[in-house]
């Protein structure tokens, strides 16, 4: 199947072709025709599957009809973080280049004045984080009654960040006769409830989870101690095949500390964490995208959904506390058909976290028993029982159970 089979306009097909994409991904194949038909959609998919284009593309064609009015955005996309909101905006620029749609980005850390003047002119697409949107709404600066299309992206992350009450309020301000698209990597009960409450006979779509089925990612666990981690990461980063790496830490203080250590080791490193000014985060991300630095030390929230093509390695300097974060972190590599390597450091204290990750992904991650630095360029094949195993595409009760157990 090609993009031209999905019912998109010629102008949009041209923009897609300009982007270099010729084959729609599974989520795009399943979502785009239904969105164009005006259906509500619940999509269980995570970043790396091409999900952004699966809503941005049909939205552009839908919004091409009709005109915007002052203070009344015609569509609203909710994103959990500024970075994700920005990436969606970049997607609109990329795919909407042959359309004349107006867009506003409503995110914290950016001057309110520019955002307000865009809104006052009237926008076709408003991309917002819930906090900033609620703020403006409370001040009467925005009307949501003309918003006929709503996208709730990364709903499970919104839940983790405590945004669900805000989203419920926002949903109740939108017209009842609207189209709603909800994207989430998992479907925990509060998200299910949100969907039941605010969606109209939604079509469910599920695409394979990266952690369980993305065989492009070779995963290793390196057993170590807290004391040895910094030496270990330095030696891994010096391997030739480490072209670009994102290193995840669980705490902002560790992000800073590790970035300093690596800088002192003269490695081309940058950092991104939630305490940084928005402009600094953007600058750091741009340096990474442009190749000025090839190593980025990151915290989960700041790195969520980073669209950095071709990251060769993900290193979990700290084992993530939440198993879903593991899935999201390693999804930064092995994207769009490329191969990638994910290396996770496990100290004895991480035993339970690691067990929860393996439970969620239903696979045993191979333990690296040789020289850890060599894990960066694995030459040996892990034992058969340790290799990533089954394919899972079905909506499974197990996954929900795992997710629930995590919250207990
Ligand atoms: P997403 O899941 O939206 O974060 O997208 C993951 C990556 O896949 C992004 O870098 C997209 O630009 C890229 N992408 C989206 N659609 C396609 C496609 N049809 N073919 C190849 N790459 C794609």
Domain residues of the chain, as ranges? 3-206, 217-386
**Residues lining ligand 1, CB < 6 A?**
21, 23-25, 28, 47-53, 307, 309, 335-336
* Spatial distance between the Cα atoms of 122 and 104, rounded to a whole number of angstroms: 9
How much distance in Å is there from the Cα of 324 to the middle of ligand 1?
21
Mean pLDDT comparison of 59-73, 109-123, 267-281, highest-scoring range: 59-73
Q: Which residues pair with 220 in a beta bridge?
A: 343, 366
Q: What per-residue confidence (pLDDT) applies to 316?
A: 97
CB 382 within 8 A of CB 341: no
Q: What per-residue confidence (pLDDT) applies to 310?
A: 58
Backbone angles phi and psi of 327, in degrees to 5:
-60, -45
Q: Evaluate whether 3-206 and 217-386 have a shared fold.
A: yes
Instruction: Determine how β-strand 149-152 pairs with β-strand 75-78.
Output: parallel
Which residue CA neighbors atom 23 of ligand 1 most closely? 50
- Of 3.40.50.300, 3.90.1150.10, 3.30.930.10, 3.30.230.10, the CATH number of 3-206 is 3.40.50.300
Which residue, 326, 399, 318, 393, is CA-closest to 360? 399
Closest approach atom of ligand 1 to CA 91: 12
CA angle 160, 245, 54 (to 5 degrees): 55
Which residue, 49, 25, 87, is CA-closest to 303? 87
228 contact partners, CB below 8 Å, separation of at least 6: none
Q: Two tokens at 53?
A: 């284009």
Which residue CA neighbors atom 13 of ligand 1 most closely? 50
* Spatial distance between the Cα atoms of 402 and 43, rounded to a whole number of angstroms: 19
What tens digit of pLDDT does each residue of 92-151 get?
999 999 999 999 999 987 778 888 888 888 999 999 999 999 988 888 889 999 999 999
What tens digit of pLDDT does each residue of 337-373 get?
667 899 999 999 999 999 988 887 778 898 987 666 6
Per CATH, domain 217-386 is 3.40.50.300: yes
How much distance in Å is there from the Cα of 181 to the middle of ligand 1?
18
How much distance in Å is there from the Cα of 260 to the middle of ligand 1?
32
Which residue, 95, 75, 50, is CA-closest to 152? 75
Distance, CA of 216 to chain centre: 18
CB 315 within 8 A of CB 368: no
Question: How far, CA to CA in Å, does 302 sit from each of 181, 239, 275?
Answer: 24, 26, 9
Q: What per-residue confidence (pLDDT) applies to 399?
A: 30
How much distance in Å is there from the Cα of 225 to the middle of ligand 1?
37
Which residue, 255, 232, 245, is CA-closest to 373? 232
- pLDDT at residue 71 is higher than 70: yes
- What average pLDDT score do residues 210-219 get? 64
- pLDDT at residue 281 is higher than 90: no
Q: Two tokens at 2?
A: 């090609």
- pLDDT at residue 304 is higher than 90: no
- pLDDT at residue 256 is higher than 90: yes
CB 155 within 8 A of CB 104: no
How much distance in Å is there from the Cα of 350 to the middle of ligand 1?
33
Closest approach atom of ligand 1 to CA 52: 3
* Spatial distance between the Cα atoms of 336 and 98, rounded to a whole number of angstroms: 25
């Amino acid at each position: 199947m090609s993009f031209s089979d999905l019912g998109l306009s010629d102008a949009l097909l041209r923009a897609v072709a300009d982007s270099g994409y010729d084959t729609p991904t599974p989520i795009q194949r399943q979502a785009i025709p239904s969105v164009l038909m005006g259906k509500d959609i619940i999509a269980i998919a995570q970043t790396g599957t091409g999900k952004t284009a699966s809503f941005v593309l049909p939205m552009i064609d839908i919004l091409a009809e009709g005109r915007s009015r002052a203070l009344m955005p015609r569509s609203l996309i909710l994103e959990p973080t500024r970075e994700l909101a920005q990436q969606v905006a970049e997607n609109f620029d990329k795919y909407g280049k042959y359309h004349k749609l107006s867009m506003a980005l409503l995110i914290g850390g950016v001057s309110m004045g520019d955002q307000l003047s865009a809104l006052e002119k009237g926008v076709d697409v408003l991309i917002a984080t819930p906090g900033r949107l609620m703020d403006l709404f409370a001040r009467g600066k925005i009307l949501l009654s003309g918003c006929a299309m709503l996208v709730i992206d990364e709903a499970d992350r919104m839940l983790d960040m405590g945004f669900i009450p805000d989203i419920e309020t926002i949903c109740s301000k939108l017209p009842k006769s609207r189209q709603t698209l909800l994207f989430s990597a998992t479907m925990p009960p509060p998200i299910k409830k949100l969907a039941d409450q605010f969606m109209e006979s939604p079509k469910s779509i599920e695409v394979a989870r990266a952690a369980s089925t993305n065989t492009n990612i070779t995963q290793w666990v390196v057993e170590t101690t807290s004391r040895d981690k910094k030496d270990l990461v330095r030696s891994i980063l010096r391997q030739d095949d480490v072209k670009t790496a994102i290193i995840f830490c669980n705490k902002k203080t560790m992000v800073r500390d590790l970035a300093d250590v690596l800088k002192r080791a003269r490695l081309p490193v940058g950092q991104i964490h939630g305490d940084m000014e928005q402009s600094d985060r953007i600058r750091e991300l741009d340096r990474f995208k442009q190749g000025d630095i090839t190593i980025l030390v990151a915290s989960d929230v700041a790195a969520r959904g980073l669209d950095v093509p071709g990251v060769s390695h993900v290193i979990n300097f700290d084992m993530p506390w939440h198993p879903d974060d593991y899935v999201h972190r390693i999804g930064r590599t092995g994207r769009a058909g490329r191969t990638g390597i994910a290396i996770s450091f496990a100290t004895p204290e991480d035993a339970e976290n690691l067990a929860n990750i393996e439970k969620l992904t239903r696979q045993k991650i191979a333990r690296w028993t040789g020289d850890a630095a060599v894990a960066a360029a694995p030459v040996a094949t892990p034992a058969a029982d340790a290799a990533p195993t089954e394919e899972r595409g079905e909506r499974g009760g197990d996954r929900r159970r795992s997710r629930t157990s995590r919250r207990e």
